[in-house]
Structure 1
Amino acid sequence: MTIADLDFQTLRLSEPAANVALLTLNRPDRFNAMTPRMFTELEQAATVLNDDDALRVLVITGAGKAFCSGYDLAEADKLPELGAIGMLDLQERAARAMLAVRNVRVPVIAAVNGPAAGGGLALALQADIRIAAPEATFVPAMVRVGLSIGDLGVSWLLPRLIGPARASEIAFTGRDVDAAEAERIGLVNALSRPGELMNDVLALAEKIINNSPGGVQLTKRAIHANLEVGSYAAALELENRGQALLTRTKDMPEALAAFRERRRPVFRGE
């Protein structure tokens, strides 16, 4: 299956620069609210993009004024009718979508252009890097509607980004976090100037693309894996294997030659 085979109704895919895919949540009239269809399309898109050898960076953003307002309230009215197993099926479909995004082998950047609420916050957290527009807000609204922050990976990811005490305060109160605070506490990597979000994201993507494809991918794999391993020894073992593999590639001797010759390396991902 390729992207051309997919019939997106809730997403839009484009290529704003060479080797960069831009995946846009495309329900601006509903502030890009999530639906079961969107969960399915997110999983499909991430899975297919992950097989694209030319892809070096994936950017996710929202159409219009919002990044993603969370689960669509029009769909939420149907939830009580699903029953326990039906609700579990929906929850697992959503979780698979988040995991597929997180597991894309190249760096994923969330360009947070507006409110990221509930499941929208969860989606932003799946990215490796978050860049925010001044109008971005982060809304852990789960407790406001009788649900838990333990949703779509938020309870695991948020404390690792901003620390357990600060994550607890935000999660228990369900308060909004504006873009300036998000940058200050490390929820986002950087805050863009008005109108400069996509330019800043693409400039960051270019810096990533200038490096060895294999090195970047195994760096991401090591970071993700070492967030979960239980010991320093296990982390070292993982790192040792990654470095051993990378010294077998053609890109490493090219990088060394370029350094000696004081030129820019030409990486081929081989």
Structure 2
Amino acid sequence: MADLELRQDGDVIWATMNRPDRLNALSRNLVTELREFFVDLYWRRDVRVVVLQGAGKAFCAGLDLKESNDPGGSQRSIGAGLTRQREISEIVIAMRRCPQPIIACVNGAAAGGGFALALASDVRIATPNLRMNAAFIRIGLSACDIGVSYFLPRMVGSSVAAEYMLTGRFIDAERAYQLGLVSRVVPQEQLEAEAQGFVDDMLHATPLGLRLTKEALNHAIDAQGLEAAIAMEDRNQILASSDGDFGEGVRAFLEKRRPQYTRREG
């Protein structure tokens, strides 16, 4: 059985980390499957939205420290250790780079690498038992790992990011919602339905419009100023309005119906 289960429903892939007995901790195999999945998404035009979730009672408890007899890496060369590190960090780079919006259904623990996966997603929905933290610093490492030092201060500011990264303290659901780290907090039994609501709304956009919006939003976070962000927005609006699906989007809006896009943006 795969550690990452993939179910495609039309234009959507529901990706489930499937190691519930280990709280979906990141094994070597799960790391490989996540990396290959998100890297491959860049080239796929049959997928428009991804929902990422964890099986059982946790989202992802971080790296599986029990998988290796040498969890600290003391017997590895520096080069081998760096390669292993890059194999993991490439996942969040691919998540940010792929054109599909990623909705994370964060149930229970999202620690260490699981925290990073949640932060690298575009929309986060949580359950009341959410517990997120930069667990790395509690096991003798730096809290700056797998993109956390990039994403977290941009989302909550440097002071709050420092609070949680220097201490490894947990962020619960109420605090995460207050900070804007999650968009919704819903009971676990409503998690998939809430995600489906986001999916349905996202699929109202044209394939090209959805892709360009994620791309521009991510670039705008790092833009050098207002004019740089607006130049990118202007370029994307001309591209989107020149696409064949634009007319159908307008007609569907005026006729108060769901759009029927017949093209694949390629």
Q: Structure 2 length normalisation: TM-score?
A: 0.92
Which residue of structure 1 aligns with residue 153 of structure 2? 159
- Hey, what's the Cα distance between the residues in 1 that align with 2:107 and 2:79? 35
Distance 2:130 2:66 in 1: 24
Unpaired runs of at least 5, structure 2 = none
Equivalent residues of 2:137, 2:168 under 8 A apart = yes
Q: What is the SS of the residue equivalent to 1:249?
A: coil
- Aligned twin of 2:220: 226
Q: How does 1:43-122 map to 2 (within 5 A)?
A: 43-75=35-67, 77-78=69-70, 79-122=73-116
Q: Which amino acid aligns with 2:172?
A: D
Cα displacement string for residues 166-185 of structure 1 (whole angstroms, at most 9, x for unaligned residues): 11111111111111211111
Q: Deviations over 1:218-265 (max 9, x none)?
A: 010000111122222221221121111111111222223334444443
The answer to which of 228-237 and 238-247 deviates more is 228-237
The one-letter code matched in structure 2 to 1:39 is: V
- Give, in whole Å, the separation in 2 of the partners of 1:126 and 1:226: 16
Unaligned runs of 5+ in 1: 1-7
Percent identity (aligned)? 37
Point out the more displaced range, 228-237 or 66-75: 228-237
For the aligned residue pairs, the C-alpha RMSD in angstroms reads 1.7
Residue matched to 1:23: 15
Partner residue, 1:132? 126
**Distance across 2 between alignment mates of 1:152 and 1:185:** 21
Inter-partner Cα distance in structure 1 for 2:149 and 2:80: 23
Aligned equivalents of 1:66, 1:189: Cα separation in 2? 18
8 A Cα contact 1:36 1:90, kept in partner? no
State which of 32, 37, 41 in structure 2 corresponds to 1:40.
Answer: 32
Q: Which amino acid aligns with 2:3?
A: T
Q: Matches of 1:190 and 1:252 in 2, distance apart? A: 30
1:202-221 equivalence runs, <5 A = 202-221=196-215
Q: Is the Cα contact below 8 Å between 2:144 and 2:165 reproduced in 1? A: no
Is 1:13 matched with 2:6? Answer: yes
- Give the TM-score normalised by the residue count of structure 1: 0.91
The letter for the 1-side match of 2:223 is: V
Offset of 1:76 from its aligned partner?
5.3
> How many angstroms apart in 2 are the aligned matches of 1:256 and 1:62?
37
2-structure distance, mates of 1:110, 1:245: 29
Q: Give the letter aligned to residue 31 of structure 2.
A: F
Instruction: Check whether the contact 1:213–1:268 (CA below 8 A) recurs between aligned residues.
Output: no
Q: 94-103 vs 183-192, which deviates more?
A: 94-103
Label 1:251 to 1:137 Cα distance change in 2 as closer, same or farther (>3 A).
same
Match of 1:80, SS?
coil
Q: CA deviation at 1:266?
A: 2.5
